[in-house]
């Protein structure tokens, strides 16, 4: 492994599965494509930092009937210090037709996808039922048996909570600061990042975790 300072350029591209990130690492010893899953949670921009690289080697992807070759760096960890917006020159460094890595990963035995929908409903108060009222024994609404009560559809906010619990797994329930497990599959990390954004979290790129906006 080597540790080296450099600039990480991340650009978001809209593909068949939604937005995804492509990245390019510029260092004093060369420029490399970077495709780590952990980059899916970062916003588009140019990041200054220090990078631990454990492998550098050739890579390619098909594009319009030809093979595009590139040198790929595999990053073990990184420390990011500064972020800036992309310039035109930065954008031109990145191949605009680079495919979504989900296509490549789904060419092998598929990983069980996350079950949460792409857009989850916001938590809402439980709807008022016409059957709600005085109870016979203190537990069931008037005129309903316990069995009938159990068959009533769950309120929307309860469905949303369950979907979030399924999506985030062992890190649920969420706190004010959330560090995602970047070893999960790429699709799940994208869905987790998108959901955190919907819930009012922002990515702290220096700490590499999500914080709930105050």
Taking only the tens place, the pLDDT of each residue in 115-172 is 334 444 444 444 444 434 444 445 444 455 555 545 555 566 678 899 999 999 999 9
In angstroms, what CA-CA distances link 182 with 28, 90, 122, 165, 190? Answer: 27, 26, 25, 17, 10
CATH entry 2.60.40 includes domain 2-105: no
Kindly report, residue by residue over 59-98, the tens digit of the pLDDT: 988 777 788 899 999 999 999 999 999 988 888 777 666 7
pLDDT of residue 72: 95
Distance CA 103, CA 97 (A): 13
Greatest alpha-carbon pair distance for the chain in Å reads 78
Contact residues for 8 (Cβ-Cβ < 8 A; gap 6+)? 23, 24, 25, 26, 34, 46, 47, 49, 51, 78, 80
Q: Where are the domains of the chain?
A: 2-105, 111-214
Q: How far apart are CA 178 and CA 211, in angstroms?
A: 6
Question: Considering the entire predicted model, what is its pTM?
Answer: 0.73
């Amino acid at each position: 492994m080597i540790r080296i300072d450099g600039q990480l350029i991340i650009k978001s591209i809209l593909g068949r599965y939604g937005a995804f990130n492509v990245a390019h690492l510029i260092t004093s010893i060369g420029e490399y494509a970077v495709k780590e899953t952990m980059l899916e949670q970062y916003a588009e921009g140019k990041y200054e930092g220090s990078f631990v690289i454990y492998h550098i080697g050739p890579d390619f992807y098909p594009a319009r009937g030809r093979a595009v070759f590139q040198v790929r760096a595999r990053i073990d960890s990184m420390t990011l210090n500064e972020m800036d917006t992309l310039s035109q020159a930065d954008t031109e460094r990145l191949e605009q037709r680079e495919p979504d890595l989900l296509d490549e990963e789904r060419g092998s035995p598929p990983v069980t996808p996350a079950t949460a929908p792409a857009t989850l409903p916001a938590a809402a108060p439980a709807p008022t039922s016409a059957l709600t009222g005085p109870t016979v024994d203190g537990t069931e609404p008037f005129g309903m048996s316990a069995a009938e009560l159990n068959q009533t559809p769950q309120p929307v906010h309860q469905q949303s909570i369950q979907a979030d619990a399924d999506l985030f797994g062992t890190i649920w329930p969420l706190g004010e600061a959330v560090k995602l497990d970047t070893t999960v599959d790429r699709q799940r990390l994208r869905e987790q990042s998108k959901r955190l954004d919907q819930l009012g979290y922002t990515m702290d790129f220096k700490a590499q975790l999500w914080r709930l906006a105050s």
